[in-house]
Structure formats: structure tokens, C-alpha cells
Chains A and B, each alone.
Chain A
Amino acid sequence: QKEVEQNSGPLSVPEGAIASLNCTYSDRGSQSFFWYRQYSGKSPELIMSIYSNGDKEDGRFTAQLNKASQYVSLLIRDSQPSDSATYLCAVNLSQAGTALIFGKGTTLSVSS
């Protein structure tokens, strides 16, 4: 069973702090990794994608990928109350033609 694991949280951080969200996956051959944000009652929206080992930065967001350890993380710098949401990790399995597998998501709460 191919799996994507996330700590469900809630993860609570004060405004201005760095929030660190982690995700592990079971399929060593996975090639594509995505972070989505989902506000309550809304649909998921893409934050970042990452395909290579290392860091990828986009504004306040940094995705980190370590294929050897099979984890991908998302750092949110200068966290804002508007960042409070559920963050979904999604992984493409190595089997050709297989769609993304999503984790259960981590709920982040940023207090002002």
C-alpha cells in the first residue's frame, strides 16, 4: 500500500514564527511532490511543487525534498493568521500513469 503520511496536528505557532510541516512517503521511486493549502470548506489550492532534492523557495514558502530519507517538508516564514489552514502533501507514485496520492493533511493555526 503506497502511503503519504502527515502529522494531523493541529500545529500552533505565533504570528511571525516559522511553521514547519512534514510529510513522509513510502514509494522510493516517487518523482513529483506537491503542497496544497485548503481552507475550511474550500477546495485545495496549489502552493508549491518540487521535483529535485534540496530547497525551493517561493516568497515566504520553502519546500524541502530529501529523496534518500523519503520526506518532503514545507516551511512558512513570518507566519500570518491568514496562513491558518490545512496543508496537504501530495506525491506522484513511480508507477507510470498513476495519479497523485494525498496525505491526510496538517492543520496549522497561527495566533495573532
Chain B
Amino acid sequence: ETGVTQTPRHLVMGMTNKKSLKCEQHLGHNAMYWYKQSAKKPLELMFVYSLEERVENNSVPSRFSPECPNSSHLFLHLHTLQPEDSALYLCASSQGPTETQYFGPGTRLLVL
């Protein structure tokens, strides 16, 4: 789905590093999401932004910090992560919070 892009596609970071994941959607949607997908676990919703306002935060640790500067861009700032944070991080967008979601290709994150 080229309508939602994510960079970088792969990231290796140490526990003391600070990095950011970027998501951009070209679909004219007004809701954006961050998900975490670990092996053997269902997709875990992390954050929801609707019209650039954060409307949902599913008890995510503060070492994950989202930012939505406009309806097309979404960032996930990472700092002092733990090895258990290694996972596939997926961005998605939709016309509204309960509408069909379209996913980006994901960022495969490895925390050493």
C-alpha cells in the first residue's frame, strides 16, 4: 500500500539511543495510528490521532512519544528503549477512527 509510507524500514538501536520513526499518508485521511506487533502476539494499538489530536493512548510507556504535526504526518519518538520493545511498528491511517485502516509497510526495530 503505497498510500502510507514509513521510514526507516529497519532500525537497530542501543538502549541509550534516541531515534524517531516517521509515517506519512497520501490518502487524505484524518486519523492515524501506531501499532506494535511482536511475535506470537496480536496487533497492539499504541496511539490514535484524529484531526491531529491524540484521542487514544493505550497505557504505552513514556519512552514512546508520539507526535502528529499535521494530518499527513505521524512520528514516534523513541528513547531509552528496552530489548522487549523490539518488534514491528506499524503505522495506519483511516478516514475516521472507526473506518477501514490502511497500513504502511512497518519499521522492524531491534533494541540491543
Query: A: which residues have CB within 8 A of B?
Result: 31-32, 34, 42-46, 49, 88, 90, 92, 97-105
Contact = CB atoms under 8 A, between A and B. Distances in A.
A88 B101 CA distance: 13
Interface in B24-44: 31, 33, 41-43
B30 to A, nearest CB: 13
Tier of interface size on chain B: 20 to 34
Interface stretch (B13-21, B48-56, B66-74, B78-86): B48-56
A97 B101 contact: no
Interface of B: 1, 31, 33, 41-43, 45, 48, 50, 55-56, 88, 90, 97-106
Given A31-B98, A43-B104, A97 B55 contact: yes
A103 B55 contact: no
Contacts of B104: 43
7 contacts: A43-B1, A43-B106, A46-B101, A46-B102, A99-B97, A101-B45, A104-B42
A34 B92 CA distance: 14
B60 to A, nearest CB: 14
Contacts of B55: 97
A90 B101 CA distance: 10
Contacts of A99: 31, 33, 45, 48, 56, 97-98, 101
Contacts of A42: 105-106
Contact of A98 (B41, B97, B100, B101): B97
A31 B88 CA distance: 28
Nearest to B98: A92
Given A99-B56, A102-B42, 11 more contacts: A34-B101, A42-B105, A43-B106, A45-B1, A46-B101, A88-B43, A92-B98, A97-B55, A99-B31, A100-B98, A100-B101
B98 A98 contact: yes
B91 to A, nearest CB: 9
Nearest to B96: A97
Contact of A32 (B1, B90, B98, B103): B98
